[in-house]
């Protein structure tokens, strides 16, 4: 039996977390009653549902979410038009006090969104005064009904700097800026947040999207009494976008701030991928909406086992380990090429690989009717690997590098005699 002693605790902006797993600001962190249950399950902290100052009453649209199922896979995405907290500020602050008293070693992050400079300052101060260990500035909600808030700020970079700086002057606790993914380059707004004094960046909030349109009523979902809207998509469908932005920011030497990864995390593997690309903590919303708080048990166990296997004793030694292997596509070694390899003893004869290679790849498979098996024509294989994506037997089709002098066959044209009619001359730059 291997010794199960690894240290999952991590420091983030000088604040100690028992493990890297936090609740994201959302319905899963809406009240102390809920957060308490999450803490008991193993979560180390919470970004509480974004506070409202009560100046403008918050009314959530109804219904406020739509599931995005794809084929047999449930909730590959979630569409939501939820606003910030509709609870009275006083109730939320009382919940902060309760949680801090009962769980002093769990980290309370107050997520705030102001509607003006003054309001940012007010919400920051009142959070600190009532026990918040850190602040998260919500610059990123894609569907706030009030102009000048949410992702509108996240896209107006000077406002990010201004509001961050206002908050930093108002409080002594660390400040995280939460970024919108609804831009092309996140390093730029992150640098504005840094100029404003941000101690860390969290990303991503939801991705602006429309995941489904009702076919009977022709209203994008969720259908709010006949009206749909471009709104926030979350869940596994957005993980590639979250990983991209975290990796980009982790690579940005001018930024050099701790990162909190969010977006499509459901398992310890998702969480670990964010960490390998530079996030030191992670937050989860849709994964909990799908499976409940208990997923953290698997996250803790999976990460622990992985670290034991790799001989890594402290979780922060994992942070950013994949970054050295991340480069731009022009750095690929194109001299090295490979083909697919088939372990045909395990083939079930379904023919999916053959169909897909014919319809979408290099025409590199023949089909042996008698054996009901594919036969690879090596020099036609493009190594696109799509046959392995559709094969129902895990690991049956793998990648094999070919020797340096190996060459793929030239492309086939259907009728070479048509050359006589061809109007063509090679491009001369
Ligand atoms: C229903 C819903 C409500 C949300 N409310 C907030 C919020 O109040 N403040 C905030 O910063 N992010 C909010 N988010 C965004 C999440 O915190 C998170 O950034 C996003 O959902 C991506 O993570 P996920 O894929 O784990 O859900 C909300 C997300 C959902 C689905």
* pLDDT at position 3: 54
The predicted model scores a pTM of 0.96
Q: Cα dihedral angle (282, 285, 289, 295), rounded to 10 degrees?
A: 10
Question: How sure is the predictor about 140, in pLDDT bands with cuts at 50, 70 and 90?
Answer: confident
Q: Find the CATH number of the domain harbouring 351.
A: 3.30.70.20
Q: How far apart are CA 264 and CA 286, in angstroms?
A: 7
Is 386 in the same domain as 264? no
Average pLDDT over residues 330-337: 96
Residue 428 lies in a domain: no
Cβ(263) to ligand 1 under 6 A?
yes
The pLDDT-based confidence of 146 (bands split at 50, 70, 90) is low
> Ligand 1 centroid to 392 CA: how many Å?
34
Last residue of a domain, one of 325, 356, 384: 325
Residues with a known catalytic role: 141
- Give residue 278's pLDDT: 98
Question: How far, in Å, from the CA of 418 to the mean position of ligand 1?
Answer: 58
Please write the tens of the pLDDT for every residue from 259-289: 999 999 999 999 999 999 999 999 999 999 9
Looking at every residue in the chain, the average pLDDT score rounds to: 95
Assess whether the C-beta atom of 376 lies below 6 angstroms from ligand 1.
no
Q: Which residues of 397-419 are buried (b: 16+ CB within 10 A; e: fewer)?
A: beeeebeeeeebeeeeeeeeeee
Query: Quick one: what percent of the chain has pLDDT higher than 70?
Result: 97
Inside any domain, residue 292: yes
What is the phi/psi pair of residue 274, to 5°? -60, -40
Alpha helices in 73-156 (DSSP H): 89-102, 117-129, 151-155
Is there a domain that residue 417 lies in? Answer: no
Counting ligand 1 atoms within 8 A of each CB, the residue from 21, 22, 25 with the most, and so the one to mutate, is 25
- Which of 301, 325, 349 is the endpoint of a domain? 325
Residue 272, domain CATH: 3.20.20.70
- Pocket probe for ligand 1: among 61, 134, 234, 264, the residue whose CB has the most ligand atoms within 8 Å is 234
- 285 C-alpha vs ligand 1 centroid, how far in Å? 6
Domain assignment present for 237: yes
Across 141-216, the runs of DSSP E, i.e. the strands, are 175-178, 200-203, 207-209
Residues 225 and 286 in one domain: yes
Per-residue confidence (pLDDT) for residue 214, from 0 to 100: 97
Q: With CA atoms as reference, report the closest residue to 284 among 36, 43, 85.
A: 43
- Evaluate whether residue 424 is within a structural domain: no
Domain boundary among 325, 353, 379: 325
Q: Is residue 421 part of a domain?
A: no
Q: What percent of the chain clears pLDDT 90, i.e. is strictly above it?
A: 93
Tell me, yes or no, whether 264 and 383 share the same domain: no
CA distances from 427 to 401, 416, 422, 424 (A): 33, 21, 15, 9
Same domain flag for 70 and 34? yes
Half-sphere exposure of 327 (CA within 13 A, CB side): 7
Is 412 within the bounds of a domain? no
Do both 78 and 192 map to the same domain? yes
Residue 155: pLDDT over 90: no
Kindly state whether residues 339 and 301 are assigned to the same domain. no
Residue range 68-87: average pLDDT?
95
**Count of CB atoms situated within 10 Å of the CB of 71:** 6
Per-residue pLDDT band at 77 (split at 50, 70, 90): very high
Dump pLDDT digits (tens) for 294-320. Answer: 999 999 999 999 999 999 999 999 999
ω before 49 within 30° of 0 (cis)? no
In this structure, the residue with its CA closest to atom 15 of ligand 1 is 205
136 Cα–ligand 1 center, Å: 13
**DSSP three-state, residue 172:** coil
Res. 337: pLDDT tops 70: yes
DSSP letter assigned to residue 403:
P
**Is 232 a domain residue?**
yes
Q: How many domains is the chain partitioned into structurally? A: 2
292 and 363 share one domain: no
Model pLDDT, residue 150: 59
Ligand 1 neighbourhood includes 78 CB (under 6 angstroms):
yes
Whether residue 261 has its Cβ less than 6 Å from ligand 1: no
The answer to whether residues 319 and 377 touch, using CB atoms and an 8 Å cutoff, is no
Q: Are 280 and 386 members of one domain?
A: no
Name which residue leads in pLDDT, 194 or 56. 194
Ligand 1 atom nearest 287 alpha carbon: 26
Our mutation pick for probing the ligand 1 site, out of 232, 237, 271, 274, counting the most ligand atoms within 8 A of Cβ, is 232
The pLDDT value recorded for residue 151 is 63
Question: Cβ contacts of residue 366 below 8 Å, gap of 6+?
Answer: 374, 375, 377
Does residue 301 sit in the same domain as residue 363?
Answer: no
pLDDT (tens digit, 9 = 90+) per residue, 15-30? Answer: 999 999 999 999 999 9
Asked whether residue 305 falls in the same domain as residue 285, the answer is yes
Cα gap 353→391, rounded to integer Å: 6
Q: Backbone dihedral region of 146: left (phi > 0), alpha (psi from -120 to 50 degrees) or beta?
A: beta
Its domain, for residue 395, covers 333-401
- Cβ(288) – ligand 1 distance below 6 Å: no
pLDDT at 98 over 60: yes
Provide the pLDDT for residue 1.
42
CB-ligand 1 contact for 22 (6 Å cutoff):
no
Q: What integer pLDDT is reported at residue 17 of this predicted model? A: 98
360 secondary structure, DSSP code:
H
Instruction: Say yes or no: 54 and 187 in one domain.
Output: yes
421 phi, psi to nearest 5 deg:
-95, 0
Q: What is the pLDDT of residues 233-261, one digit of tens each?
A: 999 999 999 999 999 999 999 999 999 99
- Contact 206 CB / ligand 1 (< 6 Å): yes
Structure tokens at 190: 């992150």
**Cβ pair 88, 3 in contact under 8 A:** no
What distance in angstroms lies between residue 206's CA and the mean position of ligand 1's atoms?
6
Q: Provide the CB-side half-sphere exposure for 153 (13 A, CA).
A: 27
Beta strands in 263-368 (DSSP E): 279-284, 338-342, 365-368
Question: Rounded distance, CA 24 to CA 28, Å?
Answer: 7
Q: What is the CA radius of gyration of the chain?
A: 26
| 123 DSSP β-pair partners | none
Same domain, yes or no, for 131 and 48? yes
């Amino acid at each position: 039996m291997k010794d199960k002693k690894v240290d999952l605790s991590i420091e983030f902006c000088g604040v100690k977390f028992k493990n890297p797993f936090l609740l994201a600001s959302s319905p899963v962190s809406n009240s102390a009653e809920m957060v308490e249950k999450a803490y008991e399950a193993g979560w180390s902290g919470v970004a509480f549902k974004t506070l409202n100052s009560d100046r403008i009453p918050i009314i959530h649209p109804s219904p406020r979410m739509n599931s995005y199922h794809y084929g047999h896979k449930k909730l590959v995405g979630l569409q939501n038009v939820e606003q910030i907290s509709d609870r009275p500020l006083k109730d939320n602050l009382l919940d902060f006090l309760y949680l801090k008293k009962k769980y002093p070693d769990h980290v309370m992050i107050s997520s705030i969104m102001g509607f003006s400079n003054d309001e940012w300052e007010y919400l920051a101060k009142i959070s600190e005064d009532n026990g918040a260990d850190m602040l998260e500035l919500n610059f990123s909600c894609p569907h706030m009904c009030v102009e000048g808030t949410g992702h509108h700020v996240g896209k107006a970079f000077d406002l990010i700097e201004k509001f961050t700086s206002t908050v930093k002057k108002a409080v002594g606790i660390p400040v995280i800026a939460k970024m919108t993914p609804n831009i092309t380059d996140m390093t730029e707004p992150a640098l504005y947040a840094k100029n404003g004094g941000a101690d860390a960046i969290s990303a991503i909030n939801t991705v602006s999207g429309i995941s489904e349109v009702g076919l009977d009523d022709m209203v994008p979902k969720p259908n709010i009494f006949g009206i749909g809207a471009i709104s926030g998509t979350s869940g596994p469908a957005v993980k590639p976008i979250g990983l991209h932005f975290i990796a980009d920011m982790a690579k940005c030497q001018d930024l050099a701030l701790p990162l909190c990864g969010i977006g499509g995390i459901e398992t310890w593997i998702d969480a670990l991928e964010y960490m390998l690309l530079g996030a030191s903590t992670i937050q989860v919303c849709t994964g909990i909406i799908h499976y409940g708080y208990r997923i953290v048990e698997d996250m803790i166990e999976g990460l622990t086992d992985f670290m034991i296997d790799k001989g890594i004793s402290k979780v922060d030694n994992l942070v950013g380990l994949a970054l050295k292997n991340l480069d731009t596509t022009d750095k690929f070694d194109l001299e090295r090429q490979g083909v697919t390899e088939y372990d045909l003893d395990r083939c079930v004869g379904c023919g999916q690989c053959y169909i897909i290679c014919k319809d979408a790849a290099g025409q590199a498979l023949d089909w042996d009717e008698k054996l009901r098996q594919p036969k690879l024509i090596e020099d036609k294989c493009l190594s696109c690997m799509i046959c392995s994506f559709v094969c129902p037997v895990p690991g049956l089709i793998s990648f094999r590098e070919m020797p340096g002098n190996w060459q793929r066959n030239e492309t086939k044209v259907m009728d070479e005699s048509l050359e006589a009619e061809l109007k063509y001359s090679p491009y001369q730059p």
